[in-house]
């Protein structure tokens, strides 16, 4: 009798999940929100049907399903070269059209998402949500009426500036600090974004503009695709410890950028040296010189790019957790936006199980991982919705 019971107990037992199995389960069970994916600009430059498998790029439907990605914010990216021109606004509308077209071609795969509840309902239906965020506020053109129109079209966050100072904010990349932070209109715009229900995104802005945004906004703000200056000293595009503390006090979230140059000091140094040497040649010989063309061809061959890896991305997540806690971390991969600089182990949207497995290997609880995958940023979005509803 005892032998029989023992045999039954053994046959009914299950082997414990491996880390890989746990990671696969977690990406299937939980919504994954990515704060920044540049699909619209990618398909604008060279059209491909991302509702099907594609040869290039970092995102398409099959890979998103494989990675468990459920709510990638589609970046409505407008280059700074179009600032202060009607072309800026026109391009933004064209890119929104392209997101709507993706959904129109495959309504059994994708759905637009204008609210947290949309994301949750789409997940229940097995659809990938495509919320939209505008990268570079230039298309607003100093008009709150235009801002209203973009909200109506589905824009749910706005990155106030991009690579140059614009009519809203100074940029971290631009040595000109014409506003010493936000412009007068920028301050007005942040307040109006609160009233509408648009999340304020402080990726790309100068430090002064960040602190002013946090001070003015009555709702939490996000950094939709930024990493930590602690690992890339002098790279203002990333956030300092003091900024992350202020972001946490505001209730906001930093969504970690995967690009090697954002997470690895070696990759950052490689890029800085490349830019420095190119600029020297441009100053000496000009933009179209054979010397510059020859340099461009030789540099990467003689100096192979030092790709980051998954562990470096995890180091950034660890650092934020240790600095301010688990409640202020999200994912902002910048897929399709950082070219071929993605880390080993995180090369496209199918790689999210690798990220989750890495977090498990470092001792993160499943509850903590859920916060990173979606709960933190959805909390911010809900609060932005609440502030707008009470305005």
153: left (phi over 0), alpha (psi -120 to 50) or beta: alpha
Query: For position 12, what pLDDT does the model report?
Result: 53
Q: DSSP states of 137-185 as a string?
A: SGGGTT-HHHHHHHHHTTEEEEES--SS--SSB-BTT-S--SSSSB-HH
The DSSP output letter for 338 is: S
Q: What is the mean pLDDT of each run of 10 residues along the chain (391 residues)?
A: 41 80 98 98 96 97 98 98 96 98 98 98 98 98 98 98 98 96 98 98 98 98 98 97 98 98 95 88 88 84 94 98 98 97 98 98 98 98 98 92
At 13 the pLDDT is: 64
Cα angle 332-335-340, degrees, rounded to a multiple of 5: 130
Name beta bridge partners: 134: 76, 158
The reported pLDDT for the residue numbered 2 is 39
Partners of residue 344 on adjacent β-strands: 309
**pTM for this entry:** 0.93
The predicted pLDDT at position 5 comes to: 41
Rg of the chain over all Cα atoms, to the nearest angstrom: 22
pLDDT of residue 32: 99
**Angle ∠(185,190,194) on CA atoms, nearest 5:** 140
* DSSP, residue by residue, 221-283: -EETT--BTTTSTT-TTSBPHHHHHHHHHTT-EEEE---HHHH-HHHHHHHHHHHHHHHHHHH
- The Cα-based distances of 252 to 205, 220, 243, 367 in angstroms read 16, 5, 11, 19
Counted residue by residue, the chain has a size of: 391
């Amino acid at each position: 009798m005892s032998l029989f019971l023992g045999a039954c107990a053994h046959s009914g037992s299950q082997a414990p999940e491996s880390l890989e199995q746990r990671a696969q389960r977690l990406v299937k069970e939980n919504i994954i929100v990515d704060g920044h994916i540049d699909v619209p600009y990618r398909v604008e430059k060279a059209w491909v049907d991302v509702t099907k498998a594609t040869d290039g790029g970092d995102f398409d439907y099959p890979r998103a399903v494989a990675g468990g990605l459920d709510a990638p914010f589609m970046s409505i990216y407008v280059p700074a070269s179009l600032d202060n021109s009607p072309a800026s606004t026109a391009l933004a509308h064209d890119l929104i059209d392209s997101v709507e077209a993706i959904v129109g071609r495959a309504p059994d795969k994708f759905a637009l998402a204008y609210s947290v509840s949309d994301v949750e309902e789409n997940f229940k239906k097995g659809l990938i949500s495509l919320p939209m965020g505008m990268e570079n506020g230039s298309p607003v053109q100093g008009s709150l009426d235009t801002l209203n129109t973009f909200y109506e079209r589905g824009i749910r966050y706005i990155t106030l500036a991009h690579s140059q100072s614009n009519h809203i904010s100074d940029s971290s990349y631009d040595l000109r600090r014409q506003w010493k932070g936000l412009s007068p209109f920028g301050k007005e715009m942040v307040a109006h974004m609160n009233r509408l229900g648009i999340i304020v995104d402080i990726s790309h802005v100068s430090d002064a503009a960040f602190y002013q945004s946090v001070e003015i906004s009555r709702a939490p703000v996000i950094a939709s695709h930024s990493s930590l200056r602690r690992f890339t000293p002098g790279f203002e595009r990333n956030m300092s410890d003091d900024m992350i503390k202020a972001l946490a006090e505001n209730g906001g979230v930093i969504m970690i950028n995967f690009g090697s140059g954002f997470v690895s000091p070696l990759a950052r140094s490689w890029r800085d040296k490349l830019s420095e040497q190119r600029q020297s040649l441009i100053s000496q010989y000009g933009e179209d010189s054979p010397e510059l063309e020859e340099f461009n061809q030789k540099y990467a061959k003689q100096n192979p790019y030092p790709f980051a890896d998954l562990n470096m991305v995890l180091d950034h997540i660890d650092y934020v957790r240790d600095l301010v806690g688990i409640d202020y971390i999200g994912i902002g991969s910048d897929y399709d936006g950082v070219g071929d600089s993605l880390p080993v182990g995180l090369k496209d949207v199918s790689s999210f199980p690798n990220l989750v497995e890495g977090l498990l290997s470092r001792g993160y609880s499943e509850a903590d991982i859920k916060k990173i995958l979606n709960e933190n940023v959805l909390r911010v979005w809900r609060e932005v919705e609440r502030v707008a509803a009470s305005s």
